[in-house]
Amino acid sequence: MAEAEPSFKDPRWSLKGVTALVTGGTKGIGYAIVEELAALGAAVHICSRNQTEINERVREWESKGFKLSGSVCDLTSKAQREELIKTVSSVFHGKLNILILL
């Protein structure tokens, strides 16, 4: 008898209570990573250089029941990176489990 494939609905795959920051989370690979993390129950903060894209993605994912937040950040700016860390620390109450830099 063949063993069943693991299911992401399986509680062993749950990321409930886990926090994640995904830079560049509004498009491409970043978008796909956010979808997976959030679908597994993680609370995700995204950043992008474009506020309009952030707003659109957050609305889209919230309509799916995902826990998301977002802020503008140009990672080439040291001041904006520092502000991002302050924001994420505040949003997640000092707890960050997963960091994805794209």
Domain definitions of the chain by residue range: 22-100
Q: What is the pLDDT of residue 9?
A: 66
To the question of domain 22-100 being in CATH 3.40.50.720, the answer is yes
Q: What is the pLDDT of residue 57?
A: 97
Query: Cα 67 to chain center, whole Å?
Result: 9
Q: What is the pLDDT of residue 8?
A: 56
Low-confidence residues of the chain, pLDDT below 50?
Answer: 1-6
